[in-house]
Structures are given as structure tokens and as C-alpha cells.
């Protein structure tokens, strides 16, 4: 059976521990080469995962390997550059979140994918949490009814990433909201039925803490990162963000996200509809004055893997490529997430509510 050729751009933790293992496990893909601007990083990934070729120049790799699929796993600020490069070389692309920081960039990237007739999909892998899939099934079956309110809470008490460039705006583009908040925003509006956002109001802050947490508390596998060079004085992004999103259909999303905050640990999405409401993390369904059920959960088969969502997404990508399923993370959903991110940062900077329509008038 012919396998689909894959190349990887960026050889950090998420490529080594998530993307490449997911492709290998799937069985329908073959990772032919990896690329990283730092040669020792590329060589280390090849040695560990038994990949035959590595490059330090992405354009050269794409020209010589001619992959059908490319995973973009570089720092956030480089996403657009390498997504566009891969699309222009004829590849379908999985890009780590966030795909884009601005509405216009997201629209341009998807327009390019459409022009080349290629799939472009953001790695919004936390949709595959079993409880979120269960809520989505309820929404699609109209068990919840019209969703009028959602609440996202993703709080780490101390979990600032102390590896890579997450903490430096010039590389990451933002802090906690960009890194972990984007997953929750994506899942929440996906569960709400992807209503169109019309305005965002947000605040952001940086907690000056002596404790930055362990690798595991900041989302990395044990031994999967090197934080020896971390310098907290370089941190110039937010560790906390909170706000509200209003949608065209009259619904609202409230969010609070933190790498570090003096608040309880939390990772939850609450959905309120005119038929039922759901507390996702605690797996409870509410309806009527006294009625409550447990959320029915179906295992997805990949929960044992540390980054199981990437395994699920690789499976979805394969089915999309062979034409048996449509794109799981749809362009219009990712465009809405990008517009919310852009408006949230602008709102925090200007200390006012930002209308999404304003974003199209920015220089």
C-alpha cells in the first residue's frame, strides 16, 4: 500500500513528541524528512525517530522531497511564512496552533490553500477530548437546543513554559491566550455551532512569580524539553487573560486563561442552551429545576498517548485526503478564532471593546 509522504518543518517538542509519532502510528503516512534551522535539532530527531533525511532549509526540503503533507511546527510568528511556502510547493498542511494572529492573515492563508486546492488545517487537537466530543454530539443532535452562553476556564496556578520562545513576544506573538487559550476558544465556539463573533472585550496581565512550574505543569512531556536556558527577565507576554466575546446571534462567550495565576487550577467549558446545559470537565448535564444526568462518554481509542489529539487529527487528515470525510477543523472556524485573538489583544492594549469589523480597517 502506498504511503503518503510527509515532511516536518520545525523539530521542537511538539514535532518530536506529537506530530511524528502520530504519523508513524497511523500507518498510512511516511515521514521522509525533517527540517530545522538548527542542524543539531534536526539530526537529533532523525536519530531518535529513525528518519533518514534532515535539512536546515525548508524550501530545499520541499523542492527535493515533494511531500504531499507538511506539518508546520515552528514558533508562532513563523507559521504564516512556512504555511504559505508549503502550500506553494503543492503540499497539504497541518499547522500548529494558532494558525494566525489576525483575521486578514487567516483569510489570506485559507484563500491560498483554496487556490492551490489543498487542505490547510489548524492543530486544534483538544477537540478530541472525549467529553468535548460527547458534548458536540449532543449539540449536533439538538439535545442542548439554542446555545446562548459558554464559559471557558483554563487556569494553571504555575505553568509558564520555560523552554523555547513561548515567553518572548517576538517569537510567540503572545502568551497564555495564544498558547493554551486558543485551544479552549476553538473548542468553545465549535461546541456553540461556530457563531460569527462581532466584538471582544479583554484584559491581560503578567504575574510576577518566583515559581514558574515544572515542564509537566506547562504542558511538556517529562524529558521532552530543555529549560536550562530560560531567563524570566525576557518574558514580555501575558500570563493571564480574561474577557468576553459577543456573537452575531446574540450569544456570548466568557473566558479566563492563565499560565500563572493565584486562582484554582481549572480546565473547563460550560455550555448553556435553552434545553440543557453541560459542565464539560465534570461531565454533568443539567435540565429542568432538579434534573441532572452524567455526560455519556465514548472512548476514542487514543487516550493512552500523551498527545492523543494529534493521533486523532492524523486519522482525520488521512480520511479527508482519501475523500471519505470532510475537513475536521474547518477554515471558517479557524478564521473566527484568529479574529477573536486579534481583537482580544487590541482590546487589552487600548482598554476598550473592539468590534471585529474594525480589524478589516487596520493598516
Beta bridge partners of 72: 9, 95
CATH number for the domain formed by residue range(s) 129-298+335-359? 3.30.360.10
**Which contacts of 74-79 are long-range, i.e. CB under 8 A and separated by 24 or more positions?**
74/9, 74/10, 75/10, 75/164, 75/165, 75/171, 75/172, 76/101, 76/171, 76/172, 76/173, 76/174, 76/178, 77/170, 77/171, 77/172, 77/173
Please say whether the beta carbons of 152 and 269 come within 8 A. yes
Domain positions in the chain are 4-122+306-328, 129-298+335-359
pTM value is 0.93
Measured distance CA(255)–CA(37) in Å, rounded: 36
- Per-residue HEC secondary structure of the chain comes to CCCEEEEEECCCHHHHHHHHHHHHHHCCEEEEEEECCCHHHHHHHHHHHCCCEEECCHHHHHHHHCCCEEEECCCHHHHHHHHHHHHHCCCEEEECCCCCCCHHHHHHHHHHHHHCCCCEEECCHHHHCHHHHHHHHHHHCCCCCCEEEEEEEEECCECCCCCCCCCCHHHHCCCHHHHHHHHHHHHHHHHCCCCCEEEEEEEEECCCCCCCCCCHHHCCCCCCCCCCCCCHHHCCCCCEEEEEEEECCCCEEEEEEECECCCCCEEEEEEEECCCEEECCCCEEEECCCEEEECCCCCCCCCCCCCHHHHHHHHHHHHHHCCCCCCCCCHHHHHHHHHHHHHHHHHHHHCCCEEHHHHCCCC
Task: Tell which residue, 316, 333, 356, has the closest CA to residue 106.
Answer: 333
Which fold is adopted by the domain 4-122+306-328? Rossmann fold (3.40.50)
Domains 4-122+306-328 and 129-298+335-359 share a fold: no
| pLDDT in single tens digits along all 363 residues of the chain | 789 999 999 999 999 999 999 999 999 999 999 999 999 999 999 999 999 999 999 999 999 999 999 999 999 999 999 999 999 999 999 999 999 999 999 999 999 999 999 999 999 999 999 999 999 999 999 999 999 999 999 999 988 888 778 888 999 999 999 999 999 999 999 999 999 999 999 999 987 655 666 666 777 765 566 666 778 788 899 999 999 999 999 999 999 999 999 899 999 999 999 999 999 999 999 998 888 899 988 876 666 678 999 999 999 999 999 999 999 999 999 999 999 999 999 999 999 999 999 998 766
Amino acid at each position: 500500500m502506498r504511503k503518503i509522504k510527509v515532511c516536518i518543518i520545525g523539530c521542537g517538542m511538539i514535532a518530536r513528541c506529537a506530530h511524528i509519532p502520530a504519523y508513524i502510528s497511523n500507518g498510512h503516512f511516511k515521514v521522509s524528512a525533517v527540517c530545522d534551522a538548527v542542524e543539531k535539532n534536526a539530526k537529533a530527531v532523525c536519530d531518535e525517530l529513525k528518519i533518514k533525511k534532515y535539512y536546515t532549509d525548508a524550501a530545499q526540503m520541499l523542492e527535493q522531497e515533494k511531500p504531499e503533507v507538511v506539518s508546520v511546527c515552528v514558533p508562532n510568528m513563523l507559521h504564516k511564512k512556512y504555511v504559505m511556502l508549503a502550500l506553494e510547493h503543492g503540499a497539504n498542511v497541518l499547522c500548529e496552533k494558532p494558525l494566525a494572529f489576525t483575521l486578514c492573515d487567516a483569510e489570506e492563508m485559507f484563500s491560498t490553500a483554496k487556490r492551490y486546492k489543498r487542505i490547510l488545517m489548524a492543530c486544534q487537537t483538544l477537540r478530541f477530548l472525549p467529553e468535548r466530543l460527547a458534548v458536540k454530539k449532543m449539540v449536533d443532535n439538538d439535545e442542548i437546543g439554542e446555545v446562548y452562553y459558554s464559559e471557558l476556564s483554563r487556569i494553571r496556578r504555575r505553568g509558564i513554559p520555560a523552554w523555547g520562545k513561548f515567553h518572548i513576544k517576538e517569537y510567540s506573538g503572545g502568551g497564555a491566550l495564544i498558547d493554551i487559550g486558543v485551544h479552549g476558544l476553538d473548542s468553545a465556539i465549535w461546541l456553540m455551532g461556530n457563531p460569527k463573533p462581532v466584538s471582544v472585550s479583554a484584559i491581560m496581565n503578567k504575574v510576577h512569580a518566583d515559581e514558574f512550574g515544572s515542564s509537566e505543569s506547562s504542558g511538556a512531556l517529562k524529558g521532552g524539553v530543555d529549560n536550562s536556558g530560560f531567563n524570566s527577565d525576557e518574558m514580555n507576554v501575558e500570563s493571564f487573560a480574561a474577557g468576553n466575546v459577543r456573537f452575531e446571534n446574540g450569544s456570548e462567550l466568557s473566558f479566563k486563561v492563565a499560565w500563572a495565576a493565584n486562582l484554582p487550577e481549572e480546565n473547563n467549558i460550560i455550555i448553556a442552551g435553552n434545553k440543557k446545559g453541560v459542565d464539560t470537565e465534570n461531565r454533568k448535564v443539567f435540565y429542568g429545576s432538579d434534573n441532572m444526568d452524567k455526560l455519556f462518554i465514548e472512548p476514542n481509542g487514543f487516550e493512552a498517548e500523551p498527545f492523543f489529539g494529534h493521533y486523532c487529527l492524523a486519522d482525520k487528515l488521512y480520511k479527508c485526503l482519501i475523500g471519505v470525510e470532510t475537513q475536521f477543523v474547518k477554515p471558517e472556524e479557524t478564521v473566527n478564532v484568529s479574529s477573536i485573538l486579534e481583537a482580544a489583544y487590541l482590546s487589552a492594549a487600548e482598554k476598550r471593546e473592539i468590534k471585529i469589523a474594525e480589524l478589516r480597517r487596520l493598516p
